[in-house]
Structure 1
Amino acid sequence: MFKVSNGWNFWEGQLEMARPNEDGIYEFDFLIEHALTMTTLQKDKITPIIDYSPDELFWTKRDSDFHSKCNKNETILNGTEKIEKMDHLLSTLLQWDGKHQKVITINGKSPGDPIVVPLGAKVIIRIRNHLFTQAITLHMHGMKMQNRWWNDGVPYIQQCPISPGSVYTYNFIADSPGTHWYHASKCGTSQGTRSILGISSSDKPSRLPLTNFAMKKGKNMLLRLANGAFEESFYIWIEEHQFWIVAADGSYVRPKQFDSLLIHPGERYDLLIVAQKNPQRNLFRMIFETFDRFMGNITTGEDRINVGLANLIYEGVQPKLSRPNTDDVDWNHKKCTKESNCAILNCPHIDFISRPLNYTCIAIDQLENAELPLSDDANIFESKNYSENQFSEMMLNSMPTFNRWFYKMPKELPFFNQGPLERIATKCDAKKCDRSKEDCHCFHHYEFRLGTIVQITAATSMNMLHPFHLHGTKFYVMKIGKMEPKYLLNPDIKCADKHCIEMKWSNISYYNGNVPLLKKNPTLRDTVMIPHMGYVMIRFRATNPGWFFAHCHLLFHHMNGMAFAFKVDVASGVSKIPKPPSNFPKNCGFYDGGEGWERDEDQQQNAMNYFLICLTGLSVLSNLDAFRQQSVGIRGRLMCGNQPLKNTQVKLWNKNTLGSDDQLSSFTTDNQGNFELQGGVGQMTKMNVHFKIYHDCDDGIKPCQRKVNFGVPDHYVERSAQTKKWSSSFRMRNAVASIEEMND
């Protein structure tokens, strides 16, 4: 079993079991702080900038003295140095992709150190937030947190964010065996997820500091993979090697052999790599291809650029003399032929038959659970009409958000709310917000009765894929319905309304659990990809009381509101949700005045006098026009290359330092890409206006919907209810041509 290097090591190390303290508790301290990639930490706490030259194979250190000559540097390593010296001098290096950028680190490393503990162990993780301005939380992705829901790390649902300078302790039981991963769970604090190294086939891999895995002849290797990318999926190939999938999302599966695996954000797989008994060379490449290679026109060979590499090196095997060029890479996967297609696991929709590739796609519902289901779960797999008191059913259309409700966090933790939920959260009310015409931002949530079977059918009516992650439980993947070419959608489902806001079963007999062709021995997962123009159906028994979360694991979709919260509890009577410790920090900064009216008559009179004084002061401020109406306006045209960017949503927002942001205006561009936005608020300080574009134009990075944010210059914000000055041009690479200035 191998771990990924956190700093810089020539060889990747094997995973090691952590040691408990004297009380038998596995305790970890995490210092969260900023750092720069391609720097090293020296004894005097100086962090010199490091550069690497693949042409000379030199590692150099820049001179940090401001009085030195520009670009002065010192060679610290060359290509002839011993591995031990390289490991020593670069042990604290954050290499990433070789560029210099600010990231968030855990104990000076990114990603953080792996945690290996026994099943059932007591674990304490103490967070010290030394970031400058950002609050954080930590989510243990894959852990159920049975009866300890407040340790799951979702901000404003399970805990308050950990403020800069604060210390916060997670205390939980390691209740879920297998491969999991931990990451920040608050948007804006995820820079610690390391990207894959991107190279082009014109580069020389032998000159790049790649990850190296040591392999022994005839001895298999277990490789635990977790995709921590923001939005990329990756194909994994190993030259001249097959591998067995033995676990998915921490749950054992019946081993199956594959040539390649597609792993989506949030997913984990355990790969058993079969070693060669008599390898003819010592070096084999592990090839990583980004999934967006298949989203447009197919490219092969020298044109392929979205790739990454690692090395699989056999110990004690000499390089083959007939192959001295270690830059050779099997980019085209020569073992995949028309006569013998390569088997790829986890392709959600790709039709390889119509493409010039010799691949066969295996959906993940073809995997089977390695163990017999628990007796309590035996009836989950049945196709029948369940009674109402034992079954809950949900249908989700995941475009652009779940059923077009844009998730908005509550102001406080719902568990501690003593009044109506509307006191701390915006209610999702279709009567007050028309989802077909506007973005409806609200606290999207559900309630599941403790002990019932929950069935969620998540579909998408557009050409988009979504990795769906459910907190607090494992679920069974009961069925996957792919797009069928002769239908717009999978024929099992259809739009429930003319705007396709929600979905429904095409056959009404499918409701209440009577869905045919369910898997008899499905795998247990916590993350699954929703196929485009199709659906995935999952089931689980709600046995973990508490407040939890579900969301798309593409960061930009999550930030846009593709999420919902859910509560598991009894339908009536005394709540079964465990209470957090008495000293648990439950106030997240929202205070509505509270209680405390028990005063004697004099105190009440004094309080009234004080209130009248304050009220008079507010009246004076109002007369001084401190809250005068402000306004701003933008009009223009959006272009995607040379074509108008039509049917594209644009918005104006006023970002507030305290409290929630104000949406000033929303518009959808016409067929020519034209739009006009105008809005305003009354407030004491000047508005901080941002213009946001939600576009599907291929910007050369990712051909799917993206959100672009522009700040509107202050001089376009006017102290009047009527806009007279309209904002000037913006530009976005390859997607938005310009927004032309138009003055009244």
Structure 2
Amino acid sequence: MGSVIHALTLLSTLVGCCFGYECDSSATVCETTLIISHQQTMLHPTEGQVYPVNGKLYRYDDVNQTTIIPTDEVMTADGWENNRLVTVANESLPGPPIIVYVGQRVKVHVINALLSDTVTVHWHGLPLYGSPHMDGTPFVTQCPILPGQKFTYDFTADPKGTHWYHSHAGNQRAKGMHGAFIIKERTSTAREHIMTVEDWNHHWGSDMDVQKMKKAQVFIGRNLQPIRSSVDGGLFLPFIASSVLINGRGRFYNETGQDNGAPLTEFSVDAGTTYRFRVIHTGVMYPIRVSVDHHRLTVVASDGFEIQPVVAESFIVAAGERFDFEINTNQTIGSYWIRAETIEVNSHKTEAVLRYTGADPSRDPITSRKVCSPTNRCLVVNCPFETYPSDTYTDCINFDQLKSAINDPPPEPTSSDDFKEHHLNFGIVIGRPSVNGIVFQTPKVSALSQPFEVGPTCDKNDCGEDTLCNCMHSISTNFNDVVQLVLMNTGMVVPAAHPIHLHGYSFYVLKTGFGTYNTTSAKFISPNMDIDCRGNGDMSFCNQGTWRNSTWLGNNVPDLNLINPPKKDTLNMPYGSYAVIRYKANNPGVWMLHCHVQVHMALGMSLLINSSYGMHPVPPKGFPVCHDFPSAFRERLEDYQQQSPTTPAQRQNTATPEIRLVTQIVKEDDIYGISSFWAMFGVLVAVILVLSFYILTIRKKLYLYKKKYDDSSSASKQANDNRSFSKL
């Protein structure tokens, strides 16, 4: 194993640390490699430990600061000098950006150079039509990649826009395993920059965050950390953000407001030019507000889809979301702060530098943020609440108030049969993240390619109103169904926001219903009353929520935008709210729907959407298989194959299609039930026995007929011999 990892490390050097990949726009196939490994922050590969001073790095023993260490050769994060173990692609934090063009075939070879961990890579924002096995969700669309193994993701680049990739195994995304994935049009000539933002914890890794959330208490040393809260009073727990990073760099601010002088990311621009910035929140929990001193932002896209432009002072981006904005570099030549801060009370923050060509590269900006006033108010796009406190003179635009830039109305059902509506409540119930009170239990096989081995499924006798259960939660849709999901965050749950991400689809945001807020303080007062939680009244978990007005069916919900709604794949849901989203189920596969707060997803706030089960594409040849050992299903399958008259090679090639033909005939609510398998298996065995008895009976009758016929004259026998018939 050691020699393998050594070879992979050498390959990583050859591939290139910290450099992105951009495919030639004329190419048909784009091919690159990501090598996933553990690295350390604040450690130079040859000079060893480093420390920051005034935006520069020096070797640990260079007390007189005589020799500057190249910043690009060190993963600095927030400059905290105690090394942080990170999981990264190609020794880069964030991972190298991958830039391709619409319609190109993309092949990404992912090599797991980790010593102890598995990995997968999810292509966030890509529907992957016809290639659901490339989605990169462990134990849903594939088996995880083991240490030393390689897995090649092979798919078509579509649609255009700002997307990203990240590990979906365990909590590796929070440890640095993420990067930008940009799909451009071949005719694109825009000047642009990629900007990732993330909340960062330099005290420990995300696996520790999960353990601390289970205990609901967070200590640093002997000091119990307070629960953090949002502007509207919503809670953030238990992830502790020590800082914010922009493109993997930031500065740690201590309690007195003094920063540690760590290097910052710089964006170079020419004066008199329009630039597009592609912003991706790759972080863990906290929504982040982004602004640029002395420059107005024109927000033009979200999650890859163009919106009608909105000019704003700033915008807020939640974990998993992306926003594109444009700026016109029409200010005096100089350097300007780009600011990113969490929306906590007593927020964490960092900066990057917007540096005009000709500005002094040795000086930090001295600019200040816009001062909002009654006569010069600030506008913020994508607030996850209705308003800011009145004394901040700040106005909000919520996401559902944005409009699509193109004529793309949402799908309309042609009949009640092809319209499916589900109310899904995302909340932390009795300390457990769940959806409708169901804590998601990850399958132990690849659900998409091994559907008969999935379990345990949800037992409706155990899961219901005001209960909490653990199982493999899934809902099913038929091909071309119009699916309307009412995403909720309400009931007797922890008042925390949840950015909800759907794999395999982008959805239209038709409406958002917020709770009631104090218009002066902006603090949350009560949940939206459009939802009837049923159950135990105000104490209900809202596991079986529905519309309070029973006539609100389909398009009858008031204030739906059915003309030009915005489209996206990740939507932040504050406590007390709901959102109506819609999509057309035209992408067969098994797709995860989950909260993109890392610890919430890890502990069970997920479910699967089984889309068009009978039309799932067959797995690629040689696709990996994984399962428990011993496995009763595998034992029976092998017994069946050994009894088959075909050759081993034929059995291997035909076993999966034969099973799939049978599994298409199942109840919608029990697609993944192992009980369905044995029921169908029993039916199949009974049919085989009946056919066998029938064949034996026919053979006996034919034998008697043939014997009688042989008693006739020899000449007549020779004249009428039918070899095919006699062989039966």
Deviation at 1:391, TM superposition (A): 0.4
Deviation at 1:58, TM superposition (A): 5.9
1:286 aligned to 318, 333, 338, which one? 338
- Selected match of 1:488 from 526, 529, 532: 526
- Cα distance 1:203–1:213, how it changes in 2: closer, same or farther (>3 A)? farther
Which deviations, in whole Å up to 9, do the C-alpha atoms of 1:399-424 show, x marking residues without a partner?
Answer: 122101000011222344464xxx53
Q: How does 1:9-158 map to 2 (within 5 A)?
A: 17-19=22-24, 24-42=28-46, 48-54=48-54, 59-62=57-60, 72-73=61-62, 89-99=70-80, 100-158=83-141
Shift of 1:589: 4.3
Q: Report the CA distance shift for 1:211/1:205 in structure 2 as closer, same or farther (over 3 A).
A: farther
Deviations 1:354-401 (A, max 9, x none): 442110011011111111117xx5537xxxxx6332200000111122
Given that 1:368 and 1:521 are in contact with CA atoms closer than 8 Å, whether structure 2 keeps it comes out as yes
Between structures 1 and 2, the one with greater helix share:
2
1:192 aligns with 2:176: yes
Question: Structure 1 stretch 184-193 or stretch 467-476: which is displaced more?
Answer: 184-193
In 2 relative to 1, CA 187–599 (structure 1 residues): closer, same or farther, beyond 3 Å? Answer: closer
Paired amino acid for 2:440:
Y
Distance in structure 1 (CA, Å) of the matches to 2:623 and 2:275: 43
Residues 27 and 344 (structure 1), Cα distance of their counterparts in 2 relative to 1, 3 Å cut? same
Q: Which residue of 2 aligns with 1:453?
A: 482
Q: Closer, same or farther in 2 for the Cα pair 1:325/1:568, shift >3 Å?
A: closer
Matched residue type, 2:419: F
List aligned pairs for 1:290-329, cutoff 5 A. 290-293=342-345, 306-317=348-359, 328=366
Higher mean displacement: 584-593 or 406-415: 584-593
1:467 aligns with 2:450: no
Aligned-partner Cα distance in 2 for 1:379–1:387: 9
The answer to whether structure 1 residue 259 and structure 2 residue 291 are counterparts is: no
Whether contact under 8 Å (1:483, 1:534) holds in the other structure is yes
- The residue type equivalent to 1:218 in the other structure is G
How do 1:713-724 residues align onto structure 2 when only pairs under 5 Å count?
none
Partner deviation per Cα, 1:200-252 (whole Å, 9 max, x = no partner): 49667794422111222211211110000111111111111101111110011
> 1:459 and 1:433, CA in 2 relative to 1: closer, same or farther beyond 3 A?
closer
Q: Is the 8 A contact 1:20 1:27 kept in 2?
A: no
TM-score (norm: length of structure 2): 0.68
Out of 560, 573, 585, the residue aligned to residue 530 of structure 1 is 573
Letter in 2 for 1:192: G
**Counterparts of 1:477 and 1:30, CA distance in 2:** 34
For 1:51, give the aligned amino acid. Y
Q: Which amino acid aligns with 2:314?
A: S
Q: 2: distance between equivalents of 1:398 and 1:163?
A: 32
Distance 1:14 1:60 in 2: 23
Instruction: Choose which of 424, 436, 460 in structure 1 pairs with 2:466.
Output: 436
1:388 aligns with 2:419: no
- CA distance in structure 1 between the partners assigned to 2:535 and 2:528 by the alignment: 16
| Superposed displacement of residue 143, structure 1 | 0.5
- How big is each residue's C-alpha offset from its partner over 1:473-532, in whole Å with a ceiling of 9 and x where there is no partner? 110000010112497321211212112323110110012442121112011100111132
Gaps of 5+ in 1: 1-6, 8-12, 63-71, 294-303, 381-385, 602-744
Opposite residue 308 of structure 1, the aligned amino acid is T
Q: Deviation string for 1:422-460 (max 9, x for gaps)?
A: x531121231356635x4110000101110110001111
1:564 corresponds to:
607
CA contact (8 A) 1:217 1:314 kept: yes
Instruction: Give 1:587's match in structure 2, choosing from 626, 629, 641.
Output: 626
Instruction: For 2:479 and 2:101, locate their aligned partners in 1 and report how far apart those are by CA, in whole Å.
Output: 29
Structure 2 Cα separation of the partners of residues 560 and 599 of structure 1:
38
Partner of 1:544: 587
The question of whether the paired residues in 2 share the 8 Å contact of 1:447 and 1:566 is answered with yes
Letter in 2 for 1:17: E
Please tell me whether the aligned partners of residues 151 and 170 of structure 1 are also in contact (alpha carbons under 8 angstroms).
yes
1:510 aligns with 2:556: no
1:117-160 superposed Cα distances (whole Å, 9 cap, x missing partner): 11011001111111111111100100110010000011111000
Secondary structure of 1:456's counterpart equals strand
Tell me by how many angstroms 1:181 deviates: 0.5
Does the Cα contact within 8 Å between 2:489 and 2:574 map onto a contact in 1? yes
- Give the secondary structure class of the aligned counterpart of 1:510: coil
Partner in structure 2 of residue 478 of structure 1: 510
**C-alpha displacement of 1:326:** 5.2
How far did residue 275 of structure 1 move?
A: 1.6
CA 1:365–1:60 in structure 2 vs 1: closer, same or farther (change >3 Å)? same
Contact 2:440–2:604 (Cα < 8 Å) also in 1: yes
Which among 279, 282, 290 is matched to residue 228 of structure 1? 282
How far apart are the structure 1 equivalents of 2:165 and 2:103? 18
Matched, 1:414 2:447: yes
Say if 1:37 and 1:102, in contact at 8 Å, map to a contact too.
yes
1:371 to 396, 406, 414: 406
Deviation for aligned residue 1:317? 4.8
> For 1:577, which of 616, 635, 645 is the aligned residue?
616
Could you state the TM-score of these two structures normalised by the residue count of structure 1?
0.67
In structure 1, what residue type is equivalent to 2:325? L
1:424 has 2:457 as partner: no
Matched residues in 2 for 1:185 and 1:600: separation? 37
Distance (whole Å) between structure 1 residues aligned to residue 347 and residue 557 of structure 2: 43
Residue identity matched to 1:576: M
Q: Match for residue 535 of structure 2? A: 497
Segments of structure 2 that go 5 or more residues without pairing to the other structure are: 1-11, 13-17, 178-197, 201-244, 429-433, 519-524, 644-728
Q: Compared with structure 1, are the counterparts of its residues 489 and 267 closer, same or farther at alpha carbon in structure 2 (3 Å cutoff)?
A: same
Tell me the distance in 1 between the aligned counterparts of 2:608 and 2:498.
17
Return the letter of the residue paired with 2:573: I
State the Cα distance separating 1:536 from its structure 2 match: 0.8
The match for 1:712 is none
**Counterparts of 2:66 and 2:575, CA distance in 1:** 49
Task: State the identity %.
Answer: 27
| Structure 1 segments of 4+ aligned residues over 6 angstroms from their partners | 13-16, 598-601
Structure 1 residues 600 and 18, CA gap change in structure 2 (3 angstroms): closer
> 2:609 is paired with a residue of what secondary structure?
strand
> Is contact 2:590–2:609 with CA below 8 Å preserved after alignment?
yes
- DSSP 3-state at the match of 1:116: strand
Query: Aligned residue for 1:65?
Result: none
The one-letter amino acid paired with 1:403 is N
Contact 1:494 1:503 in 2 (8 A): yes
- Aligned-CA RMSD value: 2.9
1:265 deviates by: 0.3
Paired residue secondary structure (2:470)? strand
Kindly state the Cα deviation for residue 598 of structure 1 after the two structures are TM-superposed.
Answer: 7.0
Q: Give the length in aligned residue pairs.
A: 532
Contact 1:226 1:266 in 2 (8 A): yes
Matched-pair contact (CA < 8 Å) for 1:60–1:75? no
